[in-house]
């Protein structure tokens, strides 16, 4: 973990984002317990890992989106991550939409909070993997002023990856924001239910004249481990909101439809 934080911080980066369940290899030590119990066992590492991320955020002067890890709250298992700011503060976020495999294999439960987070580089949103496939969530975050959406993900096949990627790129256009996705690659032959992984991390932009014509700021080599570094200009989003060729946020017909945020804060 520290290696990647160190490398990214060397480029004076403001954020680094890790994948969903980046610590899944730890489950190999608990395979004899079965997938559900193994996931609960590695939940014991989540708070110590959070504390280490907080230490790195301060010492390397970088805001860290920790990907996601299993977390036990009064016996209930959640898929959570942390925003560790470089000022020493942190926020917890929970995956809201749990996949069928997470429910049946690990007994996970979804969170119920849809919020943005203020940082020293703008307001951000964080959604874990499957969450980005539901357009209502990013739209609610956009209404709260989100400028950058971070999406840690884990997909085992190219089919699953395509869903996440395609939806993430659509969210950048719909909500006039940047979207950064980060996933794990490689095989975990000793971890039940996580044998293979496929990913291609990327940074997406709106599609207008001030941005790349294909809406892709940067993308990693497909299914290869690497760090991806990209610069984005949040001031361009303000121009887009007011003077874009199309204005997806302003031109909504709120007189005939709207989305309500009923989440618990």
Residue 242's Cβ-side half-sphere holds a number of Cα atoms within 13 Å equal to 4
Report the predicted TM-score, pTM, of the whole model to 2 decimal places. 0.97
Q: What is the structure's pLDDT at 143?
A: 96
**Which 3 state secondary structure label does DSSP give 64?**
strand
Mean pLDDT by 10 residues, the chain (265 residues): 97 98 94 93 98 99 98 98 98 98 96 97 98 98 98 97 99 98 92 89 97 98 96 97 95 93 74
List active site positions.
Answer: 20, 95, 129
What CA–CA distance (Å, rounded) separates 88 from 80? 19
Which domains occur in the chain, in start order?
2-243 (3.60.110.10)
Burial class (CB in 10 A: 0-12, 13-18, 19+), 195: exposed
Q: Please count the other Cβ atoms lying within 10 Å of the Cβ belonging to residue 129.
A: 27
């Amino acid at each position: 973990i520290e290696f990647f934080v160190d490398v990214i911080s060397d480029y004076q980066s403001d954020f680094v984002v890790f994948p969903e369940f980046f610590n899944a290899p730890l489950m190999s030590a608990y395979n004899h317990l079965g997938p559900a119990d193994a996931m609960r066992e590695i939940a014991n590492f989540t708070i110590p890992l959070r504390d280490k991320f907080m230490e790195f955020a301060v010492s390397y002067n970088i805001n860290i989106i920790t990907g996601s890890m299993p977390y036990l709250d009064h016996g209930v298992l959640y898929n959570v991550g942390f925003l560790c700011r470089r000022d020493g503060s942190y926020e917890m976020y929970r995956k809201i939409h749990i996949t069928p495999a997470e429910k049946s294999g690990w007994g996970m439960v979804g969170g119920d909070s849809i919020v943005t987070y203020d940082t020293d580089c703008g307001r951000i949103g964080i959604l874990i993997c499957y969450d980005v496939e539901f357009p209502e969530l990013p739209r609610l975050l956009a209404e709260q002023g989100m400028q950058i959406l971070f999406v840690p993900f884990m997909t085992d096949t190219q089919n699953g990856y395509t869903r996440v990627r395609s939806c993430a790129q659509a969210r950048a256009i719909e909500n006039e924001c940047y979207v950064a996705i980060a996933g794990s690659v490689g095989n975990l032959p000793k971890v039940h239910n996580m044998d293979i992984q496929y990913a291609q991390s990327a940074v997406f932009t709106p599609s207008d004249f001030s941005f790349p014509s294909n809406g892709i700021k940067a993308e990693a080599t497909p299914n290869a481990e690497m760090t991806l570094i990209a610069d984005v200009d949040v001031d361009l989003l303000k121009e887009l909101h007011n003077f874009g060729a199309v204005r997806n946020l302003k031109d909504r017909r709120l007189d005939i439809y709207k989305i309500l945020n009923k989440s618990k804060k």
